[in-house]
């Protein structure tokens, strides 16, 4: 276990699993599309996902994330794993109704608490040669909702780091969320969302659990 990162940015990859793109009626992009979540969206294990009053349809999105280990700019794909310190898991929580209405990402995915991240880390050296053997899963109140093989990613971790680093400099502690598989769906107050990274042997390598609550009212002074 380790402390949560303090990223200068959280880079999220959209539509990186074919079945997820299809379930939302989108084509698979020819190159990665990405957007940023603000650092204020970050919360840790056990902290509450707050449902904002602006949205009536908030969804879970289980993802693995790359934790950047050193400054990365214009990195070639062949060298990318040298810049990845570890893997972790996160929940790219999304106000789907806002995303659908605006066809944009930032507002729908940038609310406070909309980026739960595990404080556990798996060294990149354990996964660089075997990234396709794992699975990413999501459970809502212990019912499995998402279960995707990491090998189904359209663009793999090394390509993603290289691609992003040629558009912006990545700094130590930054996160790249690599996209979500099919099965995204609504979460409601009173539920608990759990993300799991599962190894080739079926064992859970790490998990992340967060309760869902209404956003508390701010008392004005």
pLDDT of residue 59: 98
Nearest to 50 by CA among 207, 191, 196, 201: 191
Q: What span, in angstroms and rounded, lies between the C-alpha atoms of 169 and 75?
A: 10
pLDDT over 70 percentage in the chain: 95
| Residue 130 clears pLDDT 90, i.e. is over it | no
Contact between 5 and 37 (Cβ < 8 Å) = no
Q: What span, in angstroms and rounded, lies between the C-alpha atoms of 160 and 117?
A: 19
Q: What span, in angstroms and rounded, lies between the C-alpha atoms of 131 and 135?
A: 9
Q: Which residue would you say has higher pLDDT here, 94 or 129?
A: 94
| Residue 126 clears pLDDT 90, i.e. is over it | no
Contact between 52 and 215 (Cβ < 8 Å) = yes
| Residue 127 clears pLDDT 60, i.e. is over it | yes
The radius of gyration computed from the CA coordinates of the chain, to the nearest angstrom, equals 16
- CA 30-103-13 angle, 5° bins: 45
Place of tokens 């599309």: 33
Q: Residue 207 is encoded by which pair of tokens?
A: 């998990």
Q: Which of 11-15, 87-91, 123-127, 174-178 has the lowest average pLDDT?
A: 123-127
User: Is residue 3 very low, low, confident or very high in pLDDT (cuts 50, 70, 90)?
Assistant: low
What would the pLDDT profile of 111-125 be if each residue is shown by its tens digit? 999 999 999 999 988
Helix (H, G, I), strand (E, B) or coil at 20: helix
Regarding pTM above 0.75, the answer is yes
The CATH number that domain 10-214 falls under is 3.90.850.10
pLDDT of residue 1: 39
Structural domain boundaries of the chain? 10-214
């Amino acid at each position: 276990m380790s402390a949560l990162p303090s990223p200068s940015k959280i880079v999220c990859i959209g539509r990186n699993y074919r079945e997820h793109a299809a379930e939302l009626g989108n084509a698979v992009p020819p190159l990665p599309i990405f957007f940023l979540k603000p650092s204020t969206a970050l919360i840790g294990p056990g902290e509450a996902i707050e449902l904002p009053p602006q949205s009536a349809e908030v969804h879970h999105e289980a993802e693995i994330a790359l934790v950047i280990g050193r400054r990365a700019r214009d990195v070639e794909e062949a060298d990318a794993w040298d810049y990845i310190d570890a893997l972790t898991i996160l929940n790219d929580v999304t106000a789907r109704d806002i995303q659908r209405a605006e066809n944009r990402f930032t507002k729908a995915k940038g609310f406070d608490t909309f980026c739960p991240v595990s404080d556990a880390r798996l060294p990149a050296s354990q996964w660089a040669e075997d990234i396709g053997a794992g699975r990413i899963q999501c459970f809502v109140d212990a019912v499995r909702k998402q279960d995707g093989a990491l090998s189904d990613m359209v663009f793999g971790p090394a390509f993603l780091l290289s691609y992003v680093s040629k558009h912006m400099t990545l700094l130590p502690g930054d996160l790249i969320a690599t996209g979500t598989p099919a099965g995204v769906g609504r979460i409601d107050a009173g539920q608990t969302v759990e993300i799991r990274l599962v190894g080739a042997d079926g064992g859970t390598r790490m998990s992340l659990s967060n309760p869902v609550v209404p956003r508390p009212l701010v008392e004005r002074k």
